[in-house]
Amino acid sequence: MSVGVRASSIAVSASVLLAVLASCGASEPVPETEAAAGEGATVYPLTVENCGEELTFDAAPQRAVSLDQDSTEILLSLGLEDRMVGTASWTDPVLEHLAAANDTVPRLAEEAPTYEVVMGADPDFVTASHGRHYAQGGVAERSRFAETGIGAYLAPTDCDGDISINGGGTRTQALTFDSLYQTIRDFAAIFDVQSRGEALVADLEARRQAAVAGVEASGLTAAVWFSDLKTPYMGGGLGSANLLATEAGAVNVFADQDDDWPVASWETVVDLDPDVLVLADLSRERWPGDQAAEKIEFLENDPVTKGLTAVTEQRYVSLRGAEINPGIRIVDGLETLAAALQSFQGEA
């Protein structure tokens, strides 16, 4: 479907898939200037293959709504706040250097908005990094947006072939940083800001390489705990949690689990007895145990968990939820985790 600037899926042109440019530095803003025409400029109509659907763009979107923080921070990092009319589903404060830009964009909801709230912003493009927003019971199925001529993009980090992982599917292939970089390049092509996209990819990749430079298999085992005190959600073996652990040189004790965030019992965690516990520290308060401090208090006082090696040795690594999810802040999480594991080496 193609209606004006409203979208349908992206077969990104070869120019968008150029090799990564030189790094622009960890904290430098992405350049705001962009060539109006010539090599690297998007030629419309642009068609994008996206998670089993095709989105066609007759022009760059002017009124984008981002349904979750991961997508929002990518759009803001590309300097696209003037093309955004709404954000939603926040787990953490926005990155500090993006705060001023974020303040100019309406926040439609702290959690997932309703379909009516999204449509009230009059979007011509909707994007999400987590497929639950497009699943039954979420904001709306992608087909419902398509009926009104609005392209609904889903980040490749949530796709396994044509299947949405957070929309009810299960990974068959391990998540890689390439999927994150593809999201950035797709956005850069859709909005005709390719040089900004390549600069952002180059920066993230340079930081990733620096974080893992010299990292060797530490021999340490780790578990990544996202939320819930009674039945904890632990990072499985094919998603972002496992990507973080393995890149940083640890072994994920739940690596044999295909789900991104399988529910575990504390008895199972005790049996696996990880050397290190990676704790999500969420600013939201949806479930007991969302904050790292709550997690630690539970671990150190519960009779089942207080004898864990990671607890007795105080080997905790606290990461923001957005640093564990597969957005641009996963690189921040990798930097923190890799440094912590190096400091723990020799203690286990």
Q: Pick 109 or 33 by higher pLDDT.
A: 109
**CA distances from residue 52 to 9, 76, 248, 251, 343 in whole angstroms, order as listed:** 9, 26, 32, 33, 43
- The pLDDT, as a whole number, for residue 188 is 98
Provide DSSP, 221-278. Answer: EEEEEEE-SSS-EE--SSSHHHHHHHHTT-EETTTT--SSS-B--HHHHHHH--SEEE
For 164-184, write each residue's pLDDT tens digit.
Answer: 999 999 999 999 999 999 999
d(CA 111, CA 106) in angstroms, rounded, equals: 14
pLDDT, tens digit (0-9, with 9 covering 90-100), for 218-256:
689 999 999 999 999 999 999 999 999 999 999 999 999
pLDDT at residue 216, rounded to an integer? 75
| pLDDT number for residue 33 | 41
45 prior amide bond cis, ω within 30? yes
Count of helix runs (H) and strand runs (E) in the chain: 12, 13
pLDDT-based confidence at residue 346 (cuts at 50, 70, 90): low
Contact 261, 235 (CB under 8 A): yes
Question: Same CATH fold, 216-344 and 20-210?
Answer: yes
Element (DSSP H or E) covering residue 281 = strand 276-281
* CA pair distance 46, 57, nearest whole angstrom: 5
Give the model's pLDDT for residue 347: 63
Dmax of the chain from CA atoms? Answer: 66
Tell whether the model's pLDDT for residue 257 goes beyond 80.
Answer: yes
> Domains of the chain: which residue ranges?
20-210, 216-344
Quick one: average pLDDT of 24-42?
49
pLDDT tens for each residue of 41-72: 999 999 999 999 999 999 999 999 999 999 99
| Neighbouring residues of 298: CB distance < 8 A, sequence distance ≥ 6 | 229, 289, 305
* pLDDT value for 20: 34
- Which fold would CATH assign to domain 20-210? Rossmann fold (3.40.50)
Percent of the chain residues topping a pLDDT of 70: 87
pLDDT in tens, 184-208: 999 999 999 999 999 999 999 999 9
For residues 166 and 130, the answer to whether their CB atoms sit within 8 Å is yes
Look at strands 233-234 and 221-227 and give their pairing. antiparallel
- The alpha carbons of the chain give a radius of gyration, in whole angstroms, of 20
Residue 40 has pLDDT above 90, yes or no: no
Q: What value does the mean pLDDT of the chain take? A: 89
Place of tokens 């909801």: 109
Dihedrals φ, ψ of 128, to 5°? -145, 150
Half-sphere exposure of 335 (CA within 13 A, CB side): 14
Q: What is the DSSP letter of 30?
A: P
Average pLDDT for residues 307-327, to the nearest whole number?
A: 97
What was the pLDDT predicted at 321? 93
pLDDT, one tens digit per residue, over 91-123 is 899 999 999 999 999 999 999 999 999 999 999
Q: Is the pLDDT of residue 341 over 70?
A: yes
Give domain 216-344's CATH architecture: 3-Layer(aba) Sandwich (3.40)
